[in-house]
Structure formats: C-alpha cells, structure tokens
Amino acid sequence: MCFEIKERDLLARIGRLKTKSGGIETPVLFPVINPAIQPISPREIAEKFRCKALITNAYIIKKHYGEKAVRQGIHRLLNFDGVIMTDSGAYQILVYGDVEVKPEEIVDYQEKVDTDIAVILDVPTGWNVSRKQAEKTVNQTLARAEALWKIKSRKDILWVGPVQGGKFLDLISKSAKEIGKFPFQIHALGSPTPVMEQYQFEVLVDMIMVAKMNLPLERPLHLFGAGHPFMFSLAIALGCDMFDSAAYAIYARENRYMTEYGTYRLEELEWLPCSCPICTRHDAEDLREMPKNEREKLLAEHNLYVCFEELRRVKQAIVEGRLWEHLEMRCHSHPALLSALKKLGKYADYIEKHTPVTKKSGLFYLGHLDLTRPEVIRHRRKIMKNYSPPERAKILVLLPQTREKPFHKAREQKRFRKLIEEKLGERAEKLHVCTYAVPFGVVPNEIDEIYPLSQHEAAVPLDIETIEYVAQQVANYIERTNYEKVFLLDIEEWKGRIEASCRSVCKKKRIKLFTFKAEKWDRLAAENFAGLISEIILKEN
C-alpha cells in the first residue's frame, strides 16, 4: 500500500502518499508547471511555499524538450527535488481534439523521464457531447487502462486511472467500477473543468460522489483542474485527496487576485485583503503600476500563498473534526457553493457511514442546513432502529432542551426529577424522561452524555425548519415506542409545533397526551409540571 490514512472527517482524509521521491501529505495541491511560460520557477515554489509536489504535462515536455528531458530526467529538467506528477496530454485532446502521440508512446516517455506519478492517455469526455460520444470516451479510456499493464515496464511509478463520463452519472459509475478493477494506485475524475468554470458545483457534487462511491476507498482520488481555494473544502469533504492548479498563474496573467472566498480583478481593489508576504510589502496601487512581468510574478505568488493557506486551514479542520463548520462557512461565500452544500443531503447516508463516530470537539449547529450533517443523521438512525426505552418505562415525559449540558444535570431537570421522586416515590420509576433538543430530536436521559448529544452548541432563535424537524422526530419516536401516556412541557420557543406533532401521533395511537404550557423552562415551570404529572398519576391510582 502506498497510501496511509491518518485522520478522517466527513469523506476527507489526511493521508501519506509514498512515492519513489519521498512521501507527500494529502490533501495535496500540485501547482501546474509549464516551463515555457512559468512565472515562478519550481525551485522558488519549493523554497517559498514548502511545496513538495508539482505537476507538469508530459506531452508538452515531449514536444518542447524531447530527448533532453529523457537524458536529464524530469526532476533535473525542472530543478525540483520533490514529487513530480506528469499528465499525459489528455487535456490537449479536450481542447484541440487530438494529440500527436500514441497511448503507448506517452506511457514509455513518462517512464523514461523518471516521473513519480504518471497518468495514462485517457480520452476526456468533455461536456457538450452526446451520450454516444460519452460512451465512446469511457470505453476507449477503459481499453487504454487495460493496455497499460502490458506496456509499462517500471514498478516504482504510481499510475493514475482516470474516470470519465462527463455529465452522464451512470457512465461515471460504470467507468469508476471498471477502472477500479485494475491495480492503479491513484484515480482521478476527468472532465470537471467546464463544470467548475461555470460554477455548477451542485453538478460537481454528483460527479465526485458517484465516482467516489464506486472506486476502491483505499486509493486516493485526484480532481483535475480544481485550482481555486474557495472550493477546496467542498472537494476535500467529498473525498478528493489531490488537486492540480494552473489557476494561480493563469489568473496572474489576467490581473486576477485570489482570495479564499472568491476572485477580484486588480483594478477593482483599493486595499489588499491579505497578509501574505506580497500583500504586506505592496499595496494595490503598487501592483497596478508595476511592469507586467513583475506584477504577474507577484500575483502568482500571492495566489499560491492563498491556496496553500486554505489547504492548511482545511487540514486543521479535519484534525479538529470541524470540517463541516469550515465547509459551511466557505459555502456561504457564493450561492453556487451553497447549492452544492444543500446537494450533500442526497448523499447524507453514505457520508455518515464513513464519518468518525467521535471527534475531538463538539459541533456547532447554525441552522437547518446542518440537519444533513453526519452526526444528526447517525442519531436519527440509531434512535429509530437501535434504541429501546427502559423496560419499566410506561410514561414518556418530554422536557425542552436546556443551555446546560448534559441535559439531565441541568438545574431545571434536577429540580423537576427531585419533585417527581418526592411526590410519586416508587411510581416515578414508570416515568421515562427525555429531552427534545436541537438538532437531534429526542434525547433520552440515560444516553445524553454520549457524543455529540451534549457536546454541541446551537444558534438561537431556532429557524422554523429546525423546529419542524425536531417536532417530526419526536412524533417518529412516539410512533415506534409503546408508552401508555405522554406528558409534554411545551414552551413558547417551539411555537406549538412539538405539541401539534405529539397530539397527532398520540391520537393515531390512541394514547393520552397531557400538555403543560410555559413561557420558558425554569424553576417555576419545573415545579408546576411536576405537580401536574403527580396529580394525574396519583388520581388514576
């Protein structure tokens, strides 16, 4: 195995990829190097940015340097000691329709220049193509993938097996399943560039997820052309481990200034909203007045600083178990990204399955978009399928959430339970106290210290979608259990939705519901609610 996973959150992994030129930590960004028009040298990129991996195009290298690259080797040619990945020229097929090289030639050339990671000459699907053409590209790519193992001669190069299919998700699924049967060390999603250029990130979610769900999980996934930092967190959360970017240089040539939340044109900027070495030494006017070549180099450096900084932020979020929070913050920077975040609900069960059960920190609940995060999905599934109330519990008591956690240690609950025990004695054992809470729904007292039921903070006031969700989960819980009575303490914050859900399901099941309304959950509400319950139970007995 050349890939070792060290940390996980959502589908993201911090891993270690071993190559013959050393190991690199993922998620990793490969800056694209084009020696003919390179604003920053590979040596500078290595020294200034502590960059350990680059990508260049083997087809372009072959055309411009030919045997010189073979004699020197790709590392010496580029003057870079780290890991070098070579693309095969497939992007040129997408742009120009064809390349003047055969698949077996480019395999042989990548071996001869001594690359570390190589890509077969796949056939990109592109975007505005017919289904028939898309099927052809998938089949041709799979045929070339199969042929690789008879062509290649070296065992120390990691080979990338690209997934094609374009906008046809069933073809992506087929491509991923079939190419995953070959012993590639790395896979890549092909043809995403037009989707990203048009900000169709909800489509990108489908493409990545369909590929990810059908590829071997133990292999890293490369996303071609994902060069803008404002979408790193989305791609990484979906399980992409590797990226390549020419955007840092292309944007610099066009006087475009990257930030982690979007891109500015240099002429639009009064101030530089960044503290990288470039932006601390220069202001916007300085950059505008510079000669073009000097300005292009400095903008390219700034763009790389922003890319690597965002990558480090994402990695730290993975380690802390806060990738969802970071992702949500980034996705609120653009409507297209927010649409992509909403699309994650379609794959919520799969993401939950591969998300760690416990984390180093609690979660922040900011609003109804968080209802699809793995922790919420996991609790809903477990409470509905795996949980059973205590045997002696015949009466459900529903109390509202408290700011203090765990809920059963909150002073309101302690006061309530003390009064119940004093008034009912042994009869109190029939009562099962649960909390209805954001974002989990029903939280039985005996499990409310289990992560993350007490390890979270929720923003208030609650939005109506959140209230409706909790109300529905309460109703679902009552539906599948066998309580004889339900007592509900309903406070104004919940806008009557909890009571309405309880009333509907209790009527359906023909069990009694007793509701006590209070303005807020405090000592007085605890005393009055305990008195109501005790009076009813004692009267019936």
- Hey, which residues are catalytic here? 87
First CA to last CA distance, the chain: 68
Distance CA 42, CA 34 (A): 10
Contact predicate 226/237, CB 8 Å: no
Backbone phi, psi, residue 468, to 5°? -65, -40
- Residue labelled with tokens 């020229």: 89
Closest CA to 220 of 204, 243, 252, 195: 243
Return the number of other C-beta atoms located less than 10 Å from residue 218's C-beta.
10
Return the number of other C-beta atoms located less than 10 Å from residue 164's C-beta.
31
Give the three-state DSSP class for 115.
coil
Instruction: For residue 52, give both structure tokens.
Output: 């350990």
DSSP secondary structure letters along 140-178: HHHHHHHHHHHH---SSSEEEEEE--TT-HHHHHHHHHH
- Residue labelled with tokens 């916007």: 284
Residue type, 378: R
Q: Please state whether beta strands 28-33 and 53-57 pair in parallel, antiparallel, or not at all (unpaired).
A: parallel
DSSP secondary structure letters along 203-271: HHHHHHHHHHHHS-TTS-EEETT---GGGHHHHHHTT--EEEE-HHHHHHHTTEEEETTEEEEGGG-SS
Contact predicate 69/44, CB 8 Å: no
| CA-only gyration radius of the chain, Å | 29
Distance CA 68, CA 65 (A): 5
Backbone phi, psi, residue 13, to 5°? -135, 140
Backbone phi, psi, residue 435, to 5°? -110, 135
Instruction: For residue 140, give both structure tokens.
Output: 């041709």
Distance CA 367, CA 361 (A): 19
